Structure 1
Amino acid sequence: MIKELYTAALGMIPQQMKLEITANNLSNANTIGFKKERLFEREIIEAKLNLLNNSGRAEPTDIPTQTYTDFSFGSFEKTNNPLDLAIENQNAFFEVEDDQGNRFLTRAGNFTLNRDGSISAKDGKFLVADTGRLNILREFTVDTSSIENTIASNIKVSERGEVYLNKALIGRIQLVHVENPESLEKVSGVYFKPTENTQQRYLGTEETVIRQGWIENSNVNPIEEMVSLIELQRLFDIGAKIIQTQDQTLDQSIRIGRFV
């Protein structure tokens, strides 16, 4: 009977994890560049087999905890915003840098122009080019009070990642190609960082394909995730009822045993 409780509990653990993952995917369905997460089904199956073959004691290793990121393309949407960029290369990423100099990889290309001439993501991480942090005013002296309105429209990004301001070359966006994206560590939201196993390189000029005035949407399908969420909640409720029934049966057995 204890094993039945363990089995039911083990079945609920991945369901709970799936619920959390699915809910997070849904909440990011409209997040530009977001990549949905999944739980390894094989891990779940192996965990159940381990439990059924042991002597009745659940081990920490029996609980599946491994997730993975689905790096498939999201849909492309035309915005005509000169600072919206989409990557056509598979498994390629923009490189951005925070204030502390830490670098991250992302597919989110909805950038903005700051008054100091730097181009950054919405949360302030700077877009990196072949010259370091991309700054369109590095070679110019201008009035920065109206940069957002007057200069952004004059920025041109070629398909090869070359950035121009009024036909003057400022730098080139170097995309990072990752041979094994499954090795990337998801930091938060739309950001990833390489691990010691990551095989990466900068794409050459002829390899790079960037669309200016486009964004790559999240690859989350809201309808699929909602259907999955409803089904997972149903299965979770069933598991909870099984545990409750087993617990009541065990409690009754203990009470009867006291009087034998």
Structure 2
Amino acid sequence: MDKLVYTAMTGARHILDQQATTANNLANATTNGFRAQLDTFRAVPVVAEGLPTRTFVVGNTVGADYRAGPIETTGRPLDVAVRGEGWLAVQSTDGSEAYTRAGGLKISENGLLQTSGGLTLQGENGPIAVPPNMEVNIAADGTVSGIDTSQTQPGPANVLGRIKLVNPPTAGLVRGDDGLFRQTSGEVAQADQGVRLADGCLEGSNVNPVDAMVSMIALARSFDTQMSLLKNAENNAAKASQILALN
């Protein structure tokens, strides 16, 4: 069998991987705080007898696009968006600390401040509990305060806690299967006092739907090219079999 089959196969396989990544990005084009996934590949020459005229395609790096998404004003007090670089610290389902940019918050039935997906938001001193009948306000530095609305004369605001805001180097972050980011070292990031929030706002996805659609079309054409190479290899093998049969 011609070695072209193997080289074309590796190209087609990784094109399918890229298509899956692009499709996932396109599906999350409206997900708040989503960071587009990036797949990079490289061509490696086949080391064998003769000239290195063939190459294999191998996966190189899987990363994320950390550019900020557009900020939309909602006017909802529990909606926050990170200005510039930084992350919100949350407690993932396995109990570990993870990081997200999705700032649509809510108050759970137990009075804990959580993300819209039900993950408990981490405060600098643990989870932030909100007592009943509290009108919550979130400051730019992450300080959560509340005013008791059950009284006829509202009193002063009470500080309930401070959201843990972190800004670890993006080179040391990795996206998990749950869509949350963690440090590759496994360590917990320290709170960064320089991270700022915008209240009453949400950050959108940084996926450009037009670019994603163009990428899908280009990948489909590249996949067709790889299939054409496999067809040519099949035809070459058939012609060679005919010649050998004549001999």
1:53-132 to 2 correspondence within 5 Å? Answer: 53-55=47-49, 63-64=58-59, 66-90=61-85, 92-98=86-92, 100-132=94-126
Aligned-partner residue type, residue 97 of structure 1: Q
Aligned-partner residue type, residue 173 of structure 1: I
Q: Does 1:44 align with 2:38?
A: no
**Alignment-derived partner of residue 241 in structure 1:** 228
**Alignment-derived partner of residue 195 in structure 2:** 208
Structure 2 gap ranges (5+): 148-156
Structure 1 gap ranges (5+): 143-149
User: Does structure 2 conserve the Cα–Cα contact (< 8 Å) formed by 1:76 and 1:86?
Assistant: yes
Give the alignment's Cα RMSD to 1 decimal.
2.4
Aligned-partner residue type, residue 110 of structure 1: G
SS of the aligned residue for 2:190 comes to strand
In 1: Cα distance, 2:125 partner to 2:238 partner: 70
In 2: Cα distance, 1:157 partner to 1:54 partner: 63
SS of the aligned residue for 2:84 comes to coil
SS of the aligned residue for 1:2 comes to coil
Q: Percent identity?
A: 26
1:191 corresponds, among 161, 180, 183, to 180
Runs of 4+ residues deviating >4 angstroms? none
Residues 9 and 121 of structure 1: CA distance in aligned 2, closer, same or farther (over 3 Å): same
1:230 corresponds, among 208, 213, 217, to 217
The CA deviation string for residues 137-194 of structure 1, in whole angstroms up to 9 with x for no partner, is 2xxxx4xxxxxxx64xx21111111000011100011211112x13222113531111
Residues 255 and 134 of structure 1: CA distance in aligned 2, closer, same or farther (over 3 Å): farther
**Alignment-derived partner of residue 166 in structure 2:** 176
In 1: Cα distance, 2:62 partner to 2:215 partner: 16
In 1: Cα distance, 2:127 partner to 2:238 partner: 65
Aligned-partner residue type, residue 127 of structure 1: L
In 2: Cα distance, 1:128 partner to 1:118 partner: 10
In 1: Cα distance, 2:58 partner to 2:195 partner: 42
2:208 corresponds, among 221, 233, 238, to 221
Residues 226 and 96 of structure 1: CA distance in aligned 2, closer, same or farther (over 3 Å): same
User: Does structure 2 conserve the Cα–Cα contact (< 8 Å) formed by 1:184 and 1:198?
Assistant: no
Relative to the length of structure 1, the TM-score reads 0.81
**Alignment-derived partner of residue 13 in structure 2:** 13
SS of the aligned residue for 2:176 comes to strand
Greater strand content = 2
Q: Does 1:156 align with 2:155?
A: no
**Alignment-derived partner of residue 153 in structure 2:** none
